[in-house]
A and B are shown apart, each in its own frame.
Chain A
């Protein structure tokens, strides 16, 4: 600035309530900011978004003797120069210009003691805001390990603000930090310190600029404050320059051009700013930091020699990935089965309480099954984020990004996209959520849009049933490869191969930004803090349940309603009649045998219905229906056979009724309505309807096909469903499925966007409906065209 401190312009209208304060936590990335935030606030935190931007807003609370303090965790940044939405929010919150965010009372700046020089850069910019400021000197243990001696008191004098040594990871110094914050809040004073002095020409240019703009009338009466003008001048093409252009129009732009000409003197303004600040930092460091003459190779150096090695590093990386994905499958499995059983139990229990009818079906098949479909993902999400949290916290993630960058640069992405894309093979939901670590907005959005193309675990059941039913299990290449295995691999590759041109097209036409910008810091390795890891997982799981949960739940209910209504009374009563008929004929056939076998129990006074009820309760019958041993006498065998055949008939009638009702439902009608559209894919109305019904989740297709082909309880291992699919015929009598149709269905499900959870998470992560809709439309189009191409080609090849 102009050598002195600029008081905050809006400090006058700050609400002064003595009992509650708002402070902002600011710092470079990788300084332990989140760990300190957690140490300060514990579980008292809320995560949301700033309105209109995809920047996470995290707020926590702690109490000081008599007052409540609200802590706003601002995005990590190296500088106040606003070149991303994150940095713009950072500026606006600090200046009290963020909508819906009252001005803050204090800036808590976290500084990495083991990298003092670079961290003081951001601090030098924050001190110029003139806010009451407290510095938390974190990672003091790492600095000590390097045998650095930092004079915290001297630093405090030189900066004019309190400096508190902390070690957030071990929860050390946090209480002293709170005291210092309380002190500064109660007795706010203007900071006074020898600020960085900018060259004369630079100040001259800035003063001219200020005078010029004071003469202009800004739009929306939003006069830019000195700090904003300062950054607008220096950061060419930054967000604040854009704001200036919007507020002051052409004249503002002209003033800016002139100011830059005067200030720069032929040099780059960024170079002048950084040189001035780093000169100032050098003076402070000279006085307050003693470093050993010869720095020893640190622990991180030695690890990095292996982990960033082209051969060893890559091998270790692959090993880590294998462990993660293995765990997502195997560790999650018992929990997922437990949840499924719990949901089934809950459904049965709720079903037993409610009378048969629409309400019971809504609660059991709609609500409980819908919620179950959501929470069944929780174990996988928790396990993935356990690994991400550990790898992130210990500092491995940037090394993984380094190793993968070359590969992803080919698709117009960067190394940062690797973890989200790889996670999507397990499930796109945590994959999309993991894109938060991507700084670059365009990179992040492209990654979010291609991540669902990776074949997730929900597609596996679909592949498995169709491969088992229609792909011959022949071996090729001398028994080395199985055709079924190759087809499965091909299905996984379809998504990957399609993702490459999609990413390139999105990069080329939709997200055109400074290409391949990829720069990231490789922080020192640290031991992860269990508290931070636990909170990270908790936060991600809750975010998934809250936002995605509501949408999945609603979608599941809509699909349930479409397949349940209208409830045709004609169909139900015709099946009731058939069931009654079955009972009556069973009764006539079985009574003489039953009377002979157990006259006390099966006397003639029983009505037909009572007879069935008693039979159902008869343990003796259950035993020898299941144990078909030699000791069974002829009479018992005959009764058992009759009873068995009766039960089968009833089950068949029930399944036929369910199928008939679905066929007649709104969903069934939709299936028949879209039949012409899906005919080029080789599908009939039943498959089309299955595709519509599986909109909430791909795996629903199996249950739907089961219902349509009149099977009571279908799952992918069911031989019955496999047989039913193989035997299904079209209306003209030809077999419904062929290899071509099976391939067409599999390719459709490989590329389609049939997953409400993913769409809901995309909505949440991009903060707009535009991208989930875009994602759904482009993936459905791709899936349709891909399925059609595969069907037509396969038919030409004689597989139809």
Chain B
């Protein structure tokens, strides 16, 4: 699995539709974050954005979740180029530039 060299961490709410990545960190202690953790969205797990915007649809393992964008800002992921991902079959991947965020 090839990572894009200059990329690092992004907040999940800033990722575009079709992005997949490994969860790096989950901040925040609100109800929604705790629920996301229980649903299996834990560091090291792969997450994919099936539908962007608000609400978004995420694929976490076998679970598909509909979540409002405001719950996603606490989650940082390390995106990988989904052209190489074996899970790229849901949304045709668009060649969107993966921009490094300010807090990277």
Chain A residues with CB under 8 A of B35: 78-79, 83, 519
Known: A278-B42, A301-B89, A406-B55. A522 touches B64 (CB 8 A): yes
Chain B residues with CB under 8 A of A130: none
Chain A residues with CB under 8 A of B71: 517, 519
Chain A residues with CB under 8 A of B50: 304, 308
15 contacts between A and B (CB under 8 A): A79-B35, A79-B38, A81-B38, A114-B62, A117-B40, A270-B29, A297-B89, A401-B66, A405-B54, A405-B66, A517-B68, A518-B68, A519-B32, A519-B65, A520-B65
Interface string of B27-40 (1 = CB under 8 A from A): 00111111111111
Known: A78-B38, A81-B38. A118 touches B61 (CB 8 A): yes
Interface string of B54-75 (1 = CB under 8 A from A): 1101000111111110110000
Contact B68 A308 (CB under 8 A): no
Interface string of A202-241 (1 = CB under 8 A from B): 0000000000000000000000000000000001110000
A65 CB to nearest B CB, Å? 37
B18 CB to nearest A CB, Å? 12
In whole angstroms, how far apart are the Cα atoms of A529 and B34 in the complex? 33
Selected contact of B33 from candidates A79, A115, A116, A270, CB within 8 Å: A270
In whole angstroms, how far apart are the Cα atoms of A522 and B62 in the complex? 10
Contact B68 A402 (CB under 8 A): no
- Contact of A514 with B by CB under 8 A: yes
Among A79, A295, A516, A519, the most chain B Cβ lie within 10 Å of the Cβ of A519
Contact B38 A521 (CB under 8 A): no
- Contact of B26 with A by CB under 8 A: yes
B40 CB to nearest A CB, Å? 5
Contact B64 A275 (CB under 8 A): no
Contact A295 B87 (CB under 8 A): yes
Interface of chain A residues 501 through 521 with chain B (CB within 8 A): 514, 516-521
* 5 shortest interchain CB distances as A-B pairs: A274-B37, A522-B64, A115-B62, A297-B89, A79-B38
Chain B residues with CB under 8 A of A78: 35, 38-39
- Contact of A268 with B by CB under 8 A: yes
Chain B residues with CB under 8 A of A402: 51, 55, 57, 66
Known: A274-B42, A294-B86, A406-B55. A521 touches B26 (CB 8 A): no
Chain A residues with CB under 8 A of B26: 268, 271
Interface of chain A residues 248 through 273 with chain B (CB within 8 A): 268, 270-271
Selected contact of B32 from candidates A278, A398, A514, CB within 8 Å: A514
Contact B61 A519 (CB under 8 A): no
In whole angstroms, how far apart are the Cα atoms of A237 and B33 in the complex? 13
Selected contact of A514 from candidates B31, B66, B86, CB within 8 Å: B31
- Contact of A696 with B by CB under 8 A: no
A441 CB to nearest B CB, Å? 12
- Contact of A305 with B by CB under 8 A: yes
In whole angstroms, how far apart are the Cα atoms of A401 and B51 in the complex? 14
Interface of chain B residues 68 through 101 with chain A (CB within 8 A): 68, 70-71, 86-87, 89-91
In whole angstroms, how far apart are the Cα atoms of A116 and B64 in the complex? 14
B20 CB to nearest A CB, Å? 13
Interface string of B4-44 (1 = CB under 8 A from A): 00000000000000000000001001111111111110110
- Contact of A103 with B by CB under 8 A: no
Contacts A83-B34, A271-B43, A278-B42 known; list 12 others, CB within 8 Å. Answer: A83-B31, A117-B40, A268-B29, A270-B34, A278-B45, A295-B87, A297-B89, A304-B90, A405-B55, A514-B31, A517-B68, A522-B64
B25 CB to nearest A CB, Å? 9
Chain B residues with CB under 8 A of A523: 64
In whole angstroms, how far apart are the Cα atoms of A78 and B35 in the complex? 8
Chain B residues with CB under 8 A of A117: 40, 61-62
Q: Which residue of A lies closest to B54 (CB)?
A: A406
- Contact of A370 with B by CB under 8 A: no
In whole angstroms, how far apart are the Cα atoms of A270 and B35 in the complex? 9
Selected contact of A519 from candidates B43, B62, B67, CB within 8 Å: B67
In whole angstroms, how far apart are the Cα atoms of A325 and B37 in the complex? 39
A406 CB to nearest B CB, Å? 7
Known: A271-B42, A278-B42. A415 touches B86 (CB 8 A): no
Q: Which residue of A lies closest to B60 (CB)?
A: A118
In whole angstroms, how far apart are the Cα atoms of A717 and B15 in the complex? 59
In whole angstroms, how far apart are the Cα atoms of A133 and B94 in the complex? 48
In whole angstroms, how far apart are the Cα atoms of A260 and B71 in the complex? 24
Chain B residues with CB under 8 A of A236: 29
Chain B residues with CB under 8 A of A317: none
In whole angstroms, how far apart are the Cα atoms of A275 and B66 in the complex? 22
Known: A271-B37, A514-B30. A305 touches B63 (CB 8 A): no
Q: Which residue of A lies closest to B92 (CB)?
A: A305
Chain B residues with CB under 8 A of A280: none
In whole angstroms, how far apart are the Cα atoms of A519 and B50 in the complex? 15
Contact B64 A521 (CB under 8 A): yes
- Contact of A121 with B by CB under 8 A: yes
In whole angstroms, how far apart are the Cα atoms of A297 and B90 in the complex? 7
Chain B residues with CB under 8 A of A121: 38, 40
In whole angstroms, how far apart are the Cα atoms of A402 and B65 in the complex? 10
Chain B residues with CB under 8 A of A271: 26, 37, 42-43
Known: A117-B62, A518-B68. A415 touches B33 (CB 8 A): no
Q: Which residue of B lies closest to A274 (CB)?
A: B37
B58 CB to nearest A CB, Å? 10
In whole angstroms, how far apart are the Cα atoms of A415 and B56 in the complex? 13
Q: Which residue of B lies closest to A308 (CB)?
A: B51
In whole angstroms, how far apart are the Cα atoms of A81 and B36 in the complex? 13
Q: Which residue of A lies closest to B30 (CB)?
A: A514
Q: Which residue of B lies closest to A268 (CB)?
A: B29
Contact A274 B65 (CB under 8 A): no
Chain A residues with CB under 8 A of B32: 514, 517, 519
B84 CB to nearest A CB, Å? 13
Chain A residues with CB under 8 A of B40: 117-118, 121, 278
In whole angstroms, how far apart are the Cα atoms of A118 and B54 in the complex? 24
Contact B66 A522 (CB under 8 A): yes
Chain A residues with CB under 8 A of B68: 405, 409, 516-519
In whole angstroms, how far apart are the Cα atoms of A294 and B89 in the complex? 11
Q: Which residue of B lies closest to A112 (CB)?
A: B62
Chain B residues with CB under 8 A of A401: 66
Chain B residues with CB under 8 A of A83: 31, 34-35
A417 CB to nearest B CB, Å? 14
Contact A301 B42 (CB under 8 A): no
Chain A residues with CB under 8 A of B43: 271, 275
Interface string of A275-311 (1 = CB under 8 A from B): 1001000000000000000110100110011001000
Chain B residues with CB under 8 A of A237: 31
Q: Which residue of A lies closest to B40 (CB)?
A: A118
Known: A118-B39, A274-B42. A518 touches B31 (CB 8 A): no
In whole angstroms, how far apart are the Cα atoms of A275 and B29 in the complex? 15
In whole angstroms, how far apart are the Cα atoms of A79 and B43 in the complex? 18
Q: Which residue of B lies closest to A115 (CB)?
A: B62
Chain A residues with CB under 8 A of B45: 278
